[in-house]
């Protein structure tokens, strides 16, 4: 099993540009999470999908952020337009049953100049 796959691993962009982060969860997992991690704020949950449906998006910072899960094997997190304060490591995680652990991907390090 390849685990959770995220792409790209690193992204450097300029302020105002659109950024799209991608995630492929572990096959058979029905929950998917997007997190953002910074030194100042730690690991923050942005959005949580269950069976491809967004269940909790209260952590999405503002309208510039959007996430989709068109099918069970793919999700995207889009930032448009990006700002320097969006610079962080973005993690995707997937989970099987409710009481199981989350499996995290390697993360995407985003730098917005």
Partner 1 sequence: SQKIEQNSEALNIQEGKTATLTCNYTNYSPAYLQWYRQDPGRGPVFLLLIRENEKEKRKERLKVTFDTTLKQSLFHITASQPADSATYLCALAGNYGQNFVFGPGTRLSVLP
Q: Is 98 in the site for partner 1 (CB under 8 A)?
A: yes
For partner 1, give the closer residue by CB, 86 or 107: 107
Which of 45, 56, 59 has its CA nearest to residue 104? 45
Length of the chain counted residue by residue? 113
Residues 13-72 that bind partner 1 (CB under 8 A): 31, 33, 35, 42-45, 48, 55-56
Q: Tokens 């099918």 correspond to what residue?
A: 71
Cβ atoms of residues 27 and 73 within 8 Å? yes
Q: Where do contacts with partner 1 occur on this chain (CB under 8 A)?
A: 4, 31, 33, 35, 42-45, 48, 55-56, 91, 93, 95, 98-99, 101-107
């Amino acid at each position: 099993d390849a685990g959770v796959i995220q792409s790209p691993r690193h992204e450097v962009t300029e302020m105002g540009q659109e950024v799209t982060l991608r995630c492929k969860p572990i096959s058979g997992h029905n929950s998917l999470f997007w997190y953002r991690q910074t030194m100042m704020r730690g690991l923050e949950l942005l959005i949580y999908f269950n069976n491809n449906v967004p269940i909790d998006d209260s952590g999405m910072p503002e309208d510039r952020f959007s996430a989709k899960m068109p099918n069970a094997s793919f999700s995207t997190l889009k930032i448009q337009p990006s700002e320097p304060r969006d610079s962080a490591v973005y993690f995707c995680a997937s989970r099987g049953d409710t009481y199981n652990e989350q499996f995290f991907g390697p993360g995407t390090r985003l730098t917005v100049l």
